[in-house]
Amino acid sequence: MSKLGTIGARLYRGEVGYDFVGKRKIWYAISILITITAIVGLAVRGLNMGIEFSGGAVFTTPKTSVSADQAKQTAEEFSGHPAIVQKLGDRTLRIQVSELTTEKSRTTQEALAKKLDVPLDKINTDIVGPSWGDQIANKAWMGLGIFMVLVVIYLAIAFEWRMALAALVALVHDLTITVGVYALVGFEVTPGTVIGLLTILGYSLYDTVVVFDGLKEGAKDITKQTRWTYSEIANRSLNATLVRSINTTVVALLPVAGLLFIGGGFLGAGMLNDISLALFVGLAAGAYSSIFIATPLVADFKERDPQMKALAKRVSAKRAAAAAKGESGAESEPRDAEPRGDEGPEDDSPAGLVGQRARTEPRGRGGRGGRPSGKRR
């Protein structure tokens, strides 16, 4: 843990780092590949909509010795539709059949009562109409649309429209991947899934806003200096918050993983599967998009601005002049001579950008390159 803290401090100070923004084409290609896979899975397999959206019936049986497979076979035989059977406490069963009419549900209930050898009124039946599911779906889409609009307005006011657009692209990226995973694994889409999808949007925006806030502070009065381009400042801001973003995501993923793999896998809790899968995939995708998509997109948008283009030319010219001066004066200057101050020549190339602050700080008293003490021997 101490090593991780040391790395985080060095990242924050700019002593070490990784060129995320410079390699943005690689991250874009990976995201496009994952998104295409999710869209293909959604188009080919589709979503397994629960009865809350498609309509159907849920039968809850009393305590019985009949196995879940036998109950499933009976329900599918008399309903004509696939059935999902879950074991509940005290050997009771929950049988769910989608797209079931009122007449078919009555026939299925009678068949189950006969198979389980229990009175008909002991089997609790809940019928959900498809119109109710349409209302839920419409409200979910409305809530998602309102959320997106409010997010864009807030980010445009607090930061700028380019950051708002990049955050919106990252959110759509996260939602597409999460929905595609649901289609590929065949998990049922329930109101719990919708809750999970809306929840991950907040987590995704949290990391993104943290990076944007550091970028806004670092890019203040950027055109008045010639040391760094906007992309390089964006990369420094991203590295400064990298460990914080990773820690936040890991801490959030651990309990969600417990719900998904232990609660849903071993305990067989269906509702936990619905919400925990959306949270798990969405949190991972949100952390990825905050680091590899949102900030590089902002840098791409800003570098097209005329002022940023002019800044990039000035930075490039200054570095070229510093390199030429270094080559011409290499023989006459001491090897360990280093520039001092912000306006002196420095290694401003993207590869040498990280570690600048460490190289420009004065050396210690015992260092080889320190100033002479002035004492005569």
Q: How confident is the model at residue 29, as a pLDDT?
A: 94
In the chain, where do the E strands start and end?
A: 48-49, 56-60, 83-87, 93-98, 124-128, 188-189
Cβ proximity of 28 and 169 under 8 Å? no
Residue ranges of the chain whose pLDDT lies below 50: 331-377
Residue 351 main-chain phi, psi, to 5 deg: -70, -30
Cα angle at 329 between 328 and 334, to 5 degrees? 155
Residue 177 main-chain phi, psi, to 5 deg: -65, -45
pLDDT tens track for 258-305: 777 776 555 555 566 777 888 888 888 888 888 899 999 999 999 888
Cβ proximity of 155 and 163 under 8 Å? yes
Closest to 132 in 3D by CA, of 69, 208, 191, 197: 191
- The span from the CA of 72 to the CA of 74, in Å, is 5
Q: Which two tokens stand for residue 13?
A: 């100070």
CB-CB neighbours of 108 under 10 Å: 26
pTM above 0.75, yes or no: no
Q: Which two tokens stand for residue 100?
A: 């079931």
Domain 56-128, second-level architecture: 2-Layer Sandwich (3.30)
- The span from the CA of 354 to the CA of 11, in Å, is 9
Domain coordinates in residue numbering, the chain? 2-49+132-307, 56-128
Q: How confident is the model at residue 336, as a pLDDT?
A: 43
pLDDT tens track for 3-46: 555 665 665 555 666 788 888 999 999 999 999 999 998 888 88
Q: How confident is the model at residue 269, as a pLDDT?
A: 53
Write the CA distances from 240 to 7, 9, 133, integer angstroms. 10, 8, 46
CB-CB neighbours of 209 under 10 Å: 19
Cβ proximity of 192 and 270 under 8 Å? no
Q: How confident is the model at residue 270, as a pLDDT?
A: 56
- pLDDT > 90: what percent of the chain? 8
CATH number of the 2-49+132-307 domain = 1.20.1640.10
